[in-house]
Structure 1
Amino acid sequence: MSSSRPWHAAYDDGVPTELDLEAVCLPEALARTASRYGARPAVTFLNGTLTYAQLDRAASSFAGALVSMGVQQGDRVAIQLPNLPQAVIAFYGALRAGAVCVMTNPLYTLREVEHQWADADCKVAITSDFTWMGLLRENRARLRPERYIIASIPEYLRFPLNLLAPLKLKRQDPPRWAKVPAEKGVSRFKRLVDSHAPLTARPVLDFDGLALLQYTGGTTGLSKGAMLSHRNLSGNVQQIVAWFTRAEPGSEVLLTALPLFHVFGLTVCMNYGVWMGAQLVLQPNPRDYAALIKSIEKERVTLFPSVPALFNALNEYPGIESHDLSSIKACFSGSAPIARDVLERFERLTGATIVEGFGMSETSPVTHVNPLLGERRIGTVGVPVSSTDARVVDVEDRTTPVELGQEGELIVSGPQIMQGYWNRPEETAEALRDGWMHTGDLATMDESGYFKIVGRMKDMINCGGLKVFPDEVDGVLMAHEDILEAATIGVPDPRRGETVKSFVVRRPGSSLDEAGVEAWARANLAAYKIPRQVEFLDELPKSTVMKVLRRELRDREVARRAASGEDDASHAD
């Protein structure tokens, strides 16, 4: 064991320090799983289920349909769907046809869709009937794809739900079903799959070839397409498989509530699940907590990748103690730091173990995880996974390693690191340096190789030269019994440059006021870290993966200060 990689000593028994990656692309992994577990449920959505044999055949038929449309190797195919069986079929089918997938958020505005599909030069787009009729059809002339494939929620449901669902879905606000008229260049998803034979002359996939353009969230300017290869995606799945030694191939039931268009859900739910022969229980709306609980109980879910906000929401769900969630044995938490109280409450509720990890779009995404069986250090993201190196370097020169325990920028290296940003050589050169991915995250590493994320470099608050990390403040505030959620940002201050402002969501029935928040913070934080301003909200703005959107809070603060005429409002961002 190298002294520069002390984290190897923390690995669970049986987890290798280095992986000899199988050169198996994801469509080949699906075929292999289908040969082993063909009769096992692969995808469950409401009352419909596809076995692995059926999923594999549907993906091959969809690949054949794409090839018949003229899709050639390397062409970009957009998939803009919630968590439906069609999203799984389309992803594996497009890769099997040799295409490059472009996962698109179905909640995107026209501006965001137009940018992404034009930037990627998408030839075909798969979308839902309600998105097509509600946004895309009338703006088709502005969009890049030549062909559209329309999926509908009822398509993979069984009788009688397949007939009843449209009546209910079209009355929702907004509607989740729409009648699609026939027109040139527009096909219906299931009809297309059913009318095409499985692709037999499959293109040979290059393990180092491009498989996915995963667009970043676009927190600053327009989103960028992270270029992820077959090696990146398959390698990261193999790293996860090696890490979770307790998972049983062909036996697990995985709750798939994280959006598949986000890299966290794509890899940790779908691709890992398919590799392992797990049953994927699809949930299109992670905020439908009643549906999540019902699925856990009915399907006896064993694995639950999620985010802190969702764990917290289930903890707070009325009457949650009366539900049986004991089938869950392991949870992976990412996207944001999880408060100790939230973690411990969910573990008491279920009997499961939650391990916190770290990743990003550019790393496929997983780079760090806490050991599942060994020493788990709550409050850290754990240690680098197999075949992964990590360092904490000086934020100024971005090269020199800092002392143990000192904050710096986290950089990582491994087989899961992207090839670069699509058509953005300058941004690629900034992010990838000498084989290291510069994450933009501030972190510390202890003597055992456990890493702690203390914030984003762009989120760090500079109070008169003293550094304040919003995640630390939020963690302290959320430990208060009357605080459900908290999010902290920096706002302009004429004396200190910036000062600390926290947005707080109180628990129902709480009368906690600003003075109470300040008193709690004063007892648990250094004086310069105490929020000088507190604003109470009914809820915090969140992304589709329920990650708190600090940028939206900053935007609101800028607008508020501009409207009130406060000085230096432009500095709030």
Structure 2
Amino acid sequence: MQQPWFSSYEARVPHTVDVPAATLDTFLTESARKYPYNTATNFVLSYLLGGRYTVGGEMTYRQLNEQVDRFANALYQLGVRKGDRVALMLPNSPQFVIAFFATVKLGAVVVNNNPTYTARELKHQLEDSGAETIVILNLFWPRLKEVQAETPVKRVIVTHIFDTLGFPSSMLVKAKQRKDPAWVDVPAGPNLFFYKDLMAKYGPNLPQVSISPDDTALFQYTGGTTGLPKAAMLTHRNLVANTAQVASWLTNTQPGAEKMMAAIPFFHVYGMTVSMLFAILIGAEIIIVPNPRPIDNVMNVIQKERASLFPGVPAMYIGIVNHPRVADYDLKSVKACISGSAPLPMEVQEKFGQITGGRLVEGFGMTEASPVTHCNPVFGTRKNGSIGIPMPSTEAKIIDLDNGEELPIGGEQQGELCVRGPQVMAGYWNQPGETSETVDADGWLHTGDICKTDSDGSFYIVDRKKDMIIASGFKVLPRDVEEVLFMHPQVLEAVVVGIRHPTRGDDTVKAYVVAKEGQQPSADEIKQFCKQHLAPYKVPRDIEFRTELPKTMVGKVLRRVLVEEEKQKQAAKAAPKPSEQPTPA
């Protein structure tokens, strides 16, 4: 079917992709066959001399495939079988890559866990997923210990950040870590195993397991920015398809010759698909960075390792273009970057291109879509404020918010964005009601995003349905206000939320602002600027300045945290003071 956005495709981008009838483990086995002696993982740890000397280790594709088979055999010997859930609570590391591919090679299901989760949050995901096995970094073990008895977890595999490093890197990192107050010595115990011991004990004798592309490969929990996280069930076919779609979009990549900067977390579906799966599909060297903060670390690694591909989030690119010493770094090796998880100002895209010579474009996706659905053409026309056009083999439409009828592409109307394609999830784990509300009978994923389109088929996210503010009876979309705040020359970051007024019952528009380094705008200055560009009811009534905004690990601002803070402030104000307490009779 001819779509209006096809005319915006680059010449070498196909309208559809052939999704191979394959499982994820074939990405690794094929690259190990084609590029056995190419570097697969380059683990970069900066510990010495203030980061000027990097410590780490490399592994070839043949070595990585062998390590995966060893760990898969170990999991099998410990009792993991097809369909079992294996939880991972790891930073970006070779162990993550190994544990992920070992799990899917057995036909088991990976359950990604955010390493920053509290014990309570971890407990929910382990209970909900039914995971009986977890692979965890020693530093995170105390949180698991706190709740393990209340979860299905039977087997714990503990690894240390230096477990895959050779001499002398392993000794240097081990000595450094043991001096850190956060260091955790995990004692031996029943059903507790150590990664290094297992890898030494078991050989690469992979058991024969029959796996289908339609088998679930991953439980990826939604971000939880609007409520209790749910597990999106992503099949091998979903993830293979989305990886192929990303590969078709990046037309200038050279298989076996790229260097992927993996600074966004693998436990997030965006980092997992673009930084890890896509890199392994094309036989790229994955430059693994466990912690991208501060941004100097990212720039240092790009310069030293000559990274060519750099997927990231807006906060990273904003940090680079605004860095006072960015000119001191040689970032010219970067040729293509896709930004996800949050809006990316065009000014940042252009400045980044001037600094690196590469192309930075904004894309869009959802956990439920493996995740990429839209992207601006890497070497075509980028449109300001647009999430781009649908990926190959992806259908998209917007529907009326009231009656659900499809709206014409290129009209002025705004509606809910819906997408359909091979990357759309099988459903939510144990949530049939939520699944039917999100994916309809015709396979359309209802995103919950309010969107508009132009005549070229470019899509523009206007806002989230759940984030809409009702102020004085008028509907206010936070992004409308945020775009104006970003226009202010002294503003680095901004987010807008609706704060429920304690007596009026409607919302007050409040803005949280992070000023650029060395700048100190006043609240009145910000309000006056907004009045020049916004209708009166959209102008923030309250401005709060902060040094940083609460964010997820992938840079998405947590609006709910800000709203909850305001609720607590209001509750504290409403509570009677000690002097106002009634005197007991």
TM-score by length of 2: 0.93
CA deviation after TM superposition for structure 1 residue 294, in Å? 1.5
Residue 422 (structure 1) aligned with residue 429 (structure 2): yes
* C-alpha separation in 2, matches of 1:189 and 1:472: 50
Distance 2:206 2:545 in 1: 59
Q: What is the deviation of 1:335?
A: 0.3
In the TM superposition, what is the alpha-carbon distance from 1:355 to its structure 2 partner? 1.2
Q: Distance in 1 between matches of 2:477 and 2:146?
A: 45
Count of matched residue positions in the alignment of Structure 1 and Structure 2 = 561
The one-character-per-residue Cα deviations of 1:218-274 (angstroms, maximum 9, x if unpaired) are: 234321100100000000000111111111111111111111111010101100111
Cα distance change on mapping 1:172 and 1:346 into 2, 3 Å? farther
Match of 2:101 in 1: 92
Counterpart of 2:176? 168
Aligned match of 2:373: 367
1:462, distance to aligned residue in structure 2 (A): 2.0
Q: CA deviation at 1:496?
A: 8.7
C-alpha distance in structure 2 between counterparts of 1:59 and 1:392, whole Å: 43
1:368-407 residue CA offsets vs partner (Å, 9 max, x unmatched): 0111122221210100001100111112233443672321
Shift of 1:84: 0.9
Deviation per residue, 1:321-366 (Å, 9 max, x gap): 1111111011100100012222222222211111111101100000
Is this contact kept in 1: 2:225–2:558, CA < 8 A?
no
Equivalent residue in structure 2 for 1:214, among 220, 232, 257? 220
Please give the residue correspondences for 1:268-307 in structure 2 after superposition, counting only pairs within 5 Å. 268-307=274-313
- 1:498-509, aligned counterparts within 5 Å? 498-509=507-518
Counterpart in the other structure of 1:571? none
**What is the distance in 1 between the residues matched to 2:294 and 2:432?**
41
Which of the residues 440, 446, 449 maps onto 1:438? Answer: 446
Residue equivalent to 1:53: 62
Q: Is the 8 A contact 2:23 2:240 kept in 1?
A: yes
- 1:8-407 correspondence runs (5 A): 8-46=6-44, 47-132=56-141, 134-172=142-180, 175=182, 177-401=183-407, 404-407=411-414
Cα RMSD, aligned residues only: 1.6
In structure 1, what residue type is equivalent to 2:232?
A: A
In the superposition, relative to structure 1, how do residues 158 and 429 fare at CA in structure 2: closer, same or farther (>3 Å)? same
Aligned to 2:534: 525
Task: Name the stretch that deviates more: 239-248 or 187-196.
Answer: 187-196
Residue equivalent to 1:570: none
Instruction: Indicate conservation of the 8 Å contact 2:397/2:406, yes or no.
Output: no
Letter in 2 for 1:383: I
Q: In structure 2, which of residues 453, 461, 464 is the aligned counterpart of residue 453 of structure 1?
A: 461
Offset at residue 506 of structure 1 (A): 1.2
Q: Which amino acid aligns with 1:53?
A: R
Distance 2:403 2:76 in 1: 49
1:507-529 CA distance string (max 9 Å, x none): 23223101110122122223332
Q: Give the aligned partner of residue 6 of structure 1.
A: 4
Partner SS for 2:363: strand
SS class of match (1:540): coil
Deviations 1:470-525 (A, max 9, x none): 12321221222211110101123466922311001112322310111012212222
| Distance in 1 of aligned mates of 2:32 and 2:458 | 38
Alpha carbons of 1:208 and 1:296: their partners in 2 closer, same or farther (altered >3 Å)? same
The answer to whether the Cα contact below 8 Å between 1:402 and 1:408 also exists between their aligned partners in 2 is no
Equivalent-residue separation in structure 2 for 1:113 and 1:307 (angstroms): 24
1:488 alignment partner, SS class: strand
Partner of 2:581: none
Amino acid at match of 1:407: Q
- 1:459 and 1:482 map into 2 onto residues whose CA distance is 25
1:226 and 1:420 in contact (8 A); partners too: yes
Assess if the C-alpha contact under 8 Å between 1:329 and 1:353 holds in 2. Answer: yes
| Corresponding residue of 1:562 | 571
- Displacement, 1:149? 0.8
Q: Secondary structure at the match of 1:156?
A: coil
Mapped contact 1:114–1:144 kept (Cα < 8 A): no
Amino acid at match of 2:498: G
Alignment partner of 1:476: what SS?
helix
8 A contact 1:297–1:324 mirrored in 2 = yes
CA distance in structure 1 between the aligned counterparts of 2:325 and 2:344, rounded to whole angstroms: 22
3-state SS of paired residue (2:571): helix
Asked if structure 1 preserves the Cα contact closer than 8 Å seen for 2:123 and 2:147, the reply is: no
Cross-structure match for 1:468? 476
Residue 419 (structure 1) shift:
0.5
* CA distance in structure 1 between the partners assigned to 2:59 and 2:412 by the alignment: 49
CA contact (8 A) 2:497 2:563 kept: yes
Aligned partners of 2:451 and 2:462 also within 8 Å = yes
Gapped regions of structure 2 (runs ≥ 5): 45-55, 576-585
For 1:143, give the aligned amino acid. T
Contact 2:87 / 2:113 at 8 angstroms: preserved in 1? Answer: yes
2:24 alignment partner AA? L
Shift of 1:138: 4.6
One-letter code of the match for 2:279?
A: G
Structure 1 residue aligned with 2:50: none
| One-letter amino acid matched to 2:242 | N
SS in 2 for 1:155: coil
